[in-house]
Structure formats: structure tokens, C-alpha cells
Amino acid sequence: MLESLGSLTGSPWIYAVVALSVLLDVFVPVLPSGVLVITTATAAAAGTTTVGATATTASVAGAAGQVPQEVPSLLVLILCAATASVLGDLVAYRLAWRGGARLDRAIARSRRLTTAQERLGSALSRGGGGLVVIARFAPAGRSIVSLGAGAAHRKVKDFLPWSALAGVAWAGYSAGVGYFGGHWLGASWIGAAVSVLALFATGALAAYVMRRPAAAPAVAAVPVPEPAA
């Protein structure tokens, strides 16, 4: 797999491809943005493990007229993916904010969207937005949360910081899984496949957490006075 994507992962265009995929998968959740981030990070791991050999053969490659392939930067990859994630969330949030009655009716017809919207509103009103971070790992969870926050007209100052944290956490985790998987298991399709399975397992766990009903707040028991004799 890495061989077939070598020309792309060794080009600066890989960052634009990753950013575009992450930006659009809030509207098209089937886009393999996470797989693309993992594959690029695995290619970065392959480049770092062979950097010594590349340095020793640089003069030979130059004499033969060959241009050494560039190694993707893990930091730039994470920054591109996280920034695109936040921008995509904001676009979906703004579109849902202006969606009007038609979007409200669409959300009302979906039990999943309605439940997520209610839980998100409750979490943001309490000053917490952990649900936004968890949803970023769940399949289509990012879309549900971003559209739900916009349709409910939640304040951007309550949503944006959690969206940024979710984007950084997701991008860092995806890139880290691919990078360290490439180091430990080798920069091959086996290492990339195991890293992708780890990302899918995290997504399944996040989806399970999102499906769990929100815990009702505990109500302190109030003693009832006994009637006077």
C-alpha cells in the first residue's frame, strides 16, 4: 500500500489532500480521512527509519541523477488535519445555524440527531463539552454534533474551543497511531492495517459512549415533616 501511495506521500500535495479530505468528511462521513492521515504518518515513520541509509547514499543518488523522496512532516500533518477539522466543524455549524425550519424538521425526524442535540446542549450549558471531543472519534459523530450545535443556536464561544480540542486530539491520535505503528510493526501494509484497526476500535468505543443515555442528575432527598399529633 505504501508503495502505491509513495509518490503522493512524498509530495507536498499530500498535506492539501489530507486537509481537503478532513474538511469535507463532516458532510461526507464515508471519506477515508483517518485512513489517509494514518497512511501518511506511516510513510513518515518509514522515512525516519531509513534516514541514515538515505544520507549515506545521497551522493550516489545525486550522481545517478535521482531526487531523494521527501519524508512527510508529522507536525505539519497534525496541524493540517486539526485545522481542517475545526474549519469543517465551523462550516457545518454555520450552515445548520442558518438552516431554518427545514433543518429543524429533519433533526426532529431523527431520534439519533435529537438525542445528540439534547445531550450536547446539556453538556455545553454546564460548561463542559467532552461530548464534542468523544464524537470526533465516532463514525458520523462529528457531523451530528456540529449540525446539532448549529441547529440549536449554541454560542460559538461554547462550541469552538471544544471543536479545536477535538480536532487536535483526533489528528494527534490518528497520526500517532500511524507513526508508532510504522515504527513497531514496520512500514508495510500490515503496520498500516493494524493502525487503521486501532482507529476503528476507538471509533466504536466512542460511538458506544455516545449511544449511552445521559445520567440523570441526582436529587437530594428532602425529609418530609411528620404531621403534628
**What is the count of structural domains for the chain?**
1
Start-to-end CA distance of the chain, whole Å, equals 85
Instruction: Report residue 193 as a C-alpha cell.
Output: 492495517
Is residue 180 assigned to a domain? Answer: yes
For residue 206, the model assigns a pLDDT of 85
Is residue 121 assigned to a domain? Answer: yes
Is residue 229 assigned to a domain? Answer: no
Dist CA 33 CA 44 (whole Å): 17
Dist CA 229 CA 216 (whole Å): 37
Q: What is the pLDDT of residues 79-113, one digit of tens each?
A: 999 999 999 999 999 988 887 666 666 666 666 66
Q: In the structure, what pLDDT confidence band is assigned to residue 59 with cuts at 50, 70 and 90?
A: very low
Q: What is the pLDDT of residues 189-222, one digit of tens each?
A: 777 788 889 999 998 898 887 776 655 444 444 4
pLDDT at 61 over 70: no
Instruction: Report residue 63 as a C-alpha cell.
Output: 550522481
Q: Which helix (H) or strand (E) holds 206?
A: helix 189-211
Q: Whole-prediction pTM value?
A: 0.76
pLDDT at 23 over 90: yes
Residue recorded with cell 493494524: 194
Is residue 217 assigned to a domain? Answer: no
For residue 150, the model assigns a pLDDT of 84
For residue 21, the model assigns a pLDDT of 93
55 Cβ contact partners less than 8 Å away, ≥ 6 residues apart: none
Highest mean pLDDT among 46-50, 66-70, 134-138: 134-138
For residue 100, the model assigns a pLDDT of 61
Is residue 226 assigned to a domain? Answer: no
Range of the domain at 78: 6-211
Is residue 227 assigned to a domain? Answer: no
Is residue 221 assigned to a domain? Answer: no
195 Cβ contact partners less than 8 Å away, ≥ 6 residues apart: 38, 41, 42, 177, 178, 181, 182
Dist CA 37 CA 174 (whole Å): 6
Q: In the structure, what pLDDT confidence band is assigned to residue 173 with cuts at 50, 70 and 90?
A: very high
Is residue 125 assigned to a domain? Answer: yes
Dist CA 84 CA 204 (whole Å): 23
Q: What is the pLDDT of residues 120-168, one digit of tens each?
A: 666 665 555 788 898 899 888 888 888 888 877 888 888 899 999 999 9
Over range 47-56, report the average pLDDT.
Answer: 48
